[in-house]
Amino acid sequence: MSVLDGIVAGAREDLEARRAVVPEDRLWERAQEYGQRAPAAAEVIDGLRGTDGLRVIAEIKRTSPARGPLADIADPAALAARYAAGGAAAISVLTEPRRFHGSLEDLETVRSEVRLPLLRKDFVVDAYQVVEARAHGADLVLLIVAALGRRELADLIALARKLGLVPLVEVHDEQEAARAVDAGAEVIGVNARDLRTLNVDPDTFARVADRIPAGLVRIAESGVRDPEDAARYARLGADAVLVGSSLVTGDDPAGAVAALVAAGRPA
């Protein structure tokens, strides 16, 4: 069993436990309520386009399977506010509890503090989780191609759009990029970390980005350690970078985000 398979199996177990407590129709009511005051999906997508410089999606992450414990984030809302002060375009909130020590409560807490678009970052394999994301205040939801069949991916993208969510479709290679494009993804994240092995290949984005048609939003994920990495991704055509570990392990989140934003500005 790969690392990804193990994480997805745990996500399915946790999903069933939550489904037993909160019926999906109740989540739909909350999702529609948030949708009435949420930004339009087109506005969220436009906010990630790097037309005048690289955007930064700053992540709230306590731990990871690859690196272990990263930071004891007692107040995710306060951290999100510091990210916003540094110029982040969006905030990514990990909600997976087993390997990343996140929660939906983190998502709600951050939603109460910042007005930036929020990404629910989790291992989404079921429609319930998409509705759940919207109900707890997300504007984007992560869909990982490697964890989904072709029909599942297309169905979850359609559901996200019905709810007003922007699906951020994550790929790891050229074949997955083709699947994302075929499924109609408008925002595609290229993850340099192979979730089956947890190995990072810094050349992944350069290989895969050319397979993503012009006009779609390209996001570089994993391996952004400093402004030099951000600048390199900007030169390679990334609209945005998703950065977590290097931000939560530093002592100045706002300054670190600002430095990434500055590094990604056109010369």
Whole-prediction pTM value? 0.96
Cα angle at 203 between 199 and 208, to 5 degrees?
Answer: 105
Question: 49-103: per-residue pLDDT in tens?
Answer: 988 999 999 999 999 888 889 999 999 999 999 999 999 999 999 999 999 999 9
Residue 196: the pLDDT is 80
The distance from CA 34 to its chain's CA centroid, rounded to whole angstroms, is 19
| Domain limits for position 148 | 3-263
How many angstroms separate the CA atoms of 218 and 94, rounded?
20
Place of tokens 């414990």: 69
What is the length of the chain? 267
Taking all residues of the chain, what is their mean pLDDT, rounded to a whole number? Answer: 95
Collapsing DSSP to helix, strand or coil, 119 comes out as: strand
Q: What is the pLDDT of residues 115-164, one digit of tens each?
A: 999 999 999 999 999 999 999 999 999 999 999 999 999 999 999 999 99
- Which positions are catalytic? 59, 61, 121, 170, 191, 221-222
| Residue 166 bridge partners (DSSP) | 140
User: Residue 151 — φ and ψ, nearest 5°?
Assistant: -70, -40
Radius of gyration of the chain (CA): 17
* CATH code at position 144: 3.20.20.70
Considering only residues 50 and 237, tell me which one the structure prediction assigns the higher pLDDT.
237
Mean pLDDT of 24-44: 95
Number of domains in the chain: 1
Mean pLDDT across the stretch 206-230? 94
